[in-house]
Amino acid sequence: MASCAQMSQVSFSLLMAEALEILHGLQLASESGLWPCIVESDSQLVVSTIDSGNVPLSDIGLIIEDILDPMKGPLRCKVCFISRKSNMVAHCLDKLGVALEVDCFWIEEVHLVRLRLC
């Protein structure tokens, strides 16, 4: 298991932010040797767009294309929808990312003290 919370100094639409979170999750899994992997998201619209394999002709399409590209290889990974209520750790990491001054990464554990901020 791997997780991260990253600060962003740029403002994105909600869908773009969700797609970027999935892309960062795939990058973290790849760089950590956790491939193949399952990346979970509470954005059903972004997950269904990825599952369709169709790249939208909009700004989010560039991110979707970057997500789909490594998923074509022999070691495939999966992007799954999971409701926010079913994955409170991800929700708390999102909230933590808003207050961060540095990026945080956890491999094989989530720093529970930080998550008490939720």
Q: Where are the domains of the chain?
A: 2-115
**CA nearest 26: which of 75, 67, 82?**
67
CB atoms within 10 A of CB 3: 19
Sequential DSSP letters for 21-89: HHHHHHHHHHHTT--S-EEEES-HHHHHHHHHTPPPSSHHHHHHHHHHTGGGSSS--EEEE--GGG-HH
- In the chain, % of residues over pLDDT 70: 64
Greater confidence (29 vs 49) lies with 49
Q: Among 115, 107, 113, which Cα is nearest to 4's?
A: 107
2, β-bridge pairs? 107
pLDDT of residue 109: 57
Q: What pLDDT digit, counting tens, does each position of 37-82 carry? A: 888 888 899 999 999 988 888 889 999 999 998 887 776 788 889 8
pLDDT digits (tens, 9 = 90+) for 1-11: 666 666 666 67
The alpha carbon of residue 84 and the mean position of all alpha carbons in its chain are separated, in whole angstroms, by 13
What b/e string do you get for 71-98 counting C-beta neighbours within 10 Å, with b at 16 or more? beeeeebebebeeeeeeeebebbbebbe
